[in-house]
Structure 1
């Protein structure tokens, strides 16, 4: 201490203080030293403190043993103030207590607690439009949880935000806490919803190339109309407005406006009218076309001319940032397929302002080789991890290749199991390692479909189908369906495993049971049971090969009468009848979207041989080709053309059985009922089927004019034509000799049927819905027509 004072005194003299000042400071420092020494001895004395008993008081719900488990002081052992401080921190950290005190009285330690209240129940009042089940998921306070004012404040903020995002911008949420016995409370959230806030106007400033209506179709926000209840897209959301800005950028960048900018976007709430006015100010800039498109390559062995031919952009085409991105992906894929897994492609643009063109050069160079350290998958709360991993052609330890990663992303999206798929790359544990994070969001994969129609002769018909495309989260397909008509009933079960034994081979099983009972019209019924095994595998990304085996058993019953055709009676007399069939198929598809295609081709060819056991012996061949073409991207007008045909060839030189023939109607030519066209016994009216058919469809569909695309309503106009003929039955027919002669001379003509009509297609919140109205143009007198048919699908 003396050395400290001497040093301090020297310091004082150094700064030229008076002798009197030095004495005063030295005296103060001496007193401070005495205090420090006293505290040290006091601490030493406290360290030696010992208590014999520890008491807990003030607790009503939390038992004493639980409280004591957080106290670091133990009876009979020395403790210090540090131990009591730690005990206080531990007890407060539990969140169970609003206040805790620890006092020592002689050789006793007393822990006094004041417990936080416990929530008995949560109630919502005043929420007529927003359901309480939804609001309950947003609050932290739950029945049985510890109540605190902090949690209550957070819950109030969350509820207010949820009400505003639900479209009730003037809504308010308050709370009422009611104390009960035993430290319990009920929390009541009082909600004043008011009327739903509308969007009265959406205005664009600075747009000359596109009208306000065209730009409104691009963004998510919509003006409030009498149809807004269908989509609920007239709810203002600041986050959604930021997303709309990005949608506008993408739209303009893909339409040639490479200099497009958003100057500002704002939303004004008129509280008197309870409505928003949204204003978006843009600067469109100039419109560009592609100039010179070139490749600057430094890799040996890369075929540059071949790369240029594959690019979707050409000189003179309208500039599109999306087309540049697709070209980059296509080029990376081609180079990777050539063996250059570490190649790096970088596009660079050079503006020619005088000619409004942008020259694009793709620089191809050797990039750094990095390897995949780990693939993390998140967001798949329902879908199992291996369902996602098996879509990757690369795994941990392989060289990273963006082409293969993008390919996996497309595969995952094409499964239609997820709302979105995001794959991002991050640095690994060392510089040449990366970690792939695959983030997905499971979507509803169950569908319940209801279809129906009305026939001029059979009356109403109904069909119900329940489908699960991700059964048990394994990516398996399961379908249960049934149909009921006035004279028929049908059941079907279908199951598909897309990766049989871990290989990309889809294997499926189909079971069906159908009963056709013509009731009072004829004494005839038909029961058909079918079992089908099938498998298919991708040859490449566009071509699918399949093989199948089908076993069908048919039983007929009936009596000879004027109401049943002898041709059908012949099949009845041969009952039971079986067919054992082995077949194969090829499917080629370049469709851009399998739900509502706009571009691409779909072709299918099937051939089967019946004669591996059973009673049949024939070869059946069918084919179909559909082509979709987007006529106008701005107007979203799509032209569809479909061509189909089929033939059955008997191998045993015997007449074909009626049940082996093709039976067609609305499936091929709308305006005709099921089994409504083709060969028919004119006396009884029974359809007899044919061995040759052909059909053609031309359809144009487009959004409903003057209505926003967001409503999902489209119109279609179609024309269809086709024929079904060549029934080889030559036995007697019903009726007199004259009637048989008339029937034989007219029931099997090569007659072209045709129809035209219109459709309303609605991509509703219940699923895709279609109404078809068709009128036959060319038909035979004995054909059965059907003017109207509809189908609806709903998610569950």
Structure 2
């Protein structure tokens, strides 16, 4: 460093730093592991694992990554009962060319501990044992470990998380269930005691939504399984988060909680990052059969931030002309009913005739079991006309045909007015309705058209969709 004098008896200390090339980890040697293979240890380590561009080296050395490796090695041994394992500070050797380092890790595994006594119980504020939620037997059965088993920290942590969830779903948001261990190195046994302190019942004081610049608050709040004033429930909050993600309007949805104005109150914060929900597509092509083909589609899945969707689709070619408009409201007048309306006008031109279809459909749905199972009833009114008279789109024209061929064509393509009802059951467990990556979609329906509905055509149609 350099000291530079200044006025008023002050100085400036200037540090000069000379950086050299980044040091890479050439080799990691592990010694002392007798009961866990080196391959298993290396699998949980980051240090020494070269990337695709490392070209044979183990990648650059990072102190934070190495500290994480030590924690992962300890966790691996704890999960196998080695509760007194010790990972010594590494020995670092510089390679002869001074461009890399070699690390040597020394382990002292210690004995493998088995459970001698395991007790899970609930105590009150004064420390007296009380009847746990669901009963002592049910509580004990939630923990899989038993005396004589090898101690496994990850398994015990998972089981205790299930116990905490049980209490949190009942409104005890501040429940404590932390294990206490007492080692007996001579006998290689461990006593595990888990005292549960449920704390007070906690109500949700406030639900705050942040990050939504377009989507209205109510679009997310109506997907919530809990409301302000309800008892806290961990599972219902997780289900609420899943339902908001399934809307497909957000890149990220995060839930967090914080202490409310009193000990028995809690605040729930919802942080969202919105994603674009509108699409505009235009396409054109050429076919030897249909000549020029043009398509256009405009869709908004979150119309004005209300959760409604509106789609307009148009296709035109030498042999067809299709226009379709669809509107969907998932919560009709903020109720559990949904409404969708479809309107369409279609013209198809064949070699000897043309077919026009003008109609629409209205569907009312109801959530039988939210959020996955729905029932719906659709009314469809459609007028079909099959004609041997020359018809044309913007890009093509059909030729006229003898009048004697109209009757079989009309019978084949259901000429006339069709009025039908279609009840359906839908099961939808997709994790995201716009960009699904898991779940399933199943729908079964029966469509009935009859003169009683004013229909010229009569049929019964079964349909399944997955």
TM exceeding 0.5 = yes
User: Counterpart in 1 of 2:449?
Assistant: 610
Query: Would you say 1:502 and 2:334 are equivalent positions?
Result: yes
Distance 2:460 2:177 in 1: 55
**1:438 counterpart SS class:** strand
**2:236 counterpart SS class:** helix
Out of 207, 217, 222, the position equivalent to 1:375 is 207
Query: Would you say 1:623 and 2:464 are equivalent positions?
Result: yes
Alignment of 1:273-672 (within 5 A): 296=121, 299-300=131-132, 302=134, 344=175, 346=177, 348=179, 365-448=197-280, 464-484=296-316, 487-518=319-350, 521-558=351-388, 560=401, 567-571=408-412, 575-587=415-427, 589=429, 591=430, 595-597=435-437, 601-611=440-450, 612-624=453-465
Distance 1:366 1:465 in 2: 56
Distance 2:108 2:345 in 1: 64
Distance 1:324 1:451 in 2: 55
Distance 1:455 1:307 in 2: 69
**1:392 counterpart SS class:** coil
Q: Deviations over 1:641-697 (max 9, x none)?
A: xxxxxxxxxxxxxxxxxxxxxxxxxxxxxxxxxxxxxxxxxxxxxxxxxxxxxxxxx
**1:614 counterpart SS class:** coil
Q: 1:491 to 1:568 in 2, by over 3 A?
A: same
Distance 1:459 1:366 in 2: 74
Unaligned residue ranges in structure 2 (runs of 5+): 1-23, 30-37, 55-61, 91-99, 123-129, 389-399
Q: 1:467 to 1:504 in 2, by over 3 A?
A: same
User: Counterpart in 1 of 2:58?
Assistant: none
Alignment of 1:67-466 (within 5 A): 208-209=39-40, 296=121, 299-300=131-132, 302=134, 344=175, 346=177, 348=179, 365-448=197-280, 464-466=296-298
Contact kept in structure 2, 1:508 and 1:533, CA below 8 Å: yes
- Give the paired residue count: 383
CA radius of gyration, larger in: 1
**1:424 counterpart SS class:** strand
User: Counterpart in 2 of 1:57?
Assistant: none
**2:454 counterpart SS class:** strand
Contact kept in structure 2, 1:257 and 1:285, CA below 8 Å: no
> 1:461 offset after TM fit, Å?
7.0
Distance 2:344 2:191 in 1: 60
Distance 2:362 2:267 in 1: 44
RMSD (Å) for aligned C-alpha atoms: 6.0
Contact kept in structure 1, 2:424 and 2:445, CA below 8 Å: yes
Q: 1:451 to 1:346 in 2, by over 3 A?
A: farther
> 1:444 offset after TM fit, Å?
1.5
Unaligned residue ranges in structure 1 (runs of 5+): 1-200, 225-237, 265-276, 626-796
Contact kept in structure 1, 2:253 and 2:271, CA below 8 Å: yes
Q: 1:480 to 1:581 in 2, by over 3 A?
A: same
Distance 1:464 1:563 in 2: 38
> 1:592 offset after TM fit, Å?
5.5
Contact kept in structure 2, 1:202 and 1:222, CA below 8 Å: no
TM-score by length of 2: 0.59
> 1:362 offset after TM fit, Å?
7.8
Q: 1:557 to 1:565 in 2, by over 3 A?
A: closer
**1:302 counterpart SS class:** coil
Distance 1:556 1:420 in 2: 51
> 1:348 offset after TM fit, Å?
4.6
Distance 1:437 1:581 in 2: 44
Q: 1:496 to 1:341 in 2, by over 3 A?
A: farther
> 1:508 offset after TM fit, Å?
1.6
Alignment of 1:748-763 (within 5 A): none
> 1:472 offset after TM fit, Å?
0.5
Distance 2:27 2:258 in 1: 39
Contact kept in structure 2, 1:490 and 1:512, CA below 8 Å: yes
Distance 1:283 1:491 in 2: 73
Point out the structure with the larger helix share: 1
> 1:373 offset after TM fit, Å?
2.9
Distance 1:452 1:330 in 2: 56
Q: 1:541 to 1:296 in 2, by over 3 A?
A: farther
Q: 1:204 to 1:584 in 2, by over 3 A?
A: farther
Distance 2:311 2:463 in 1: 25
Q: Deviations over 1:227-262 (max 9, x none)?
A: xxxxxxxxxxx9xx999x99xx99x989x9899x9x
Deviates further, 550-559 or 429-438: 429-438
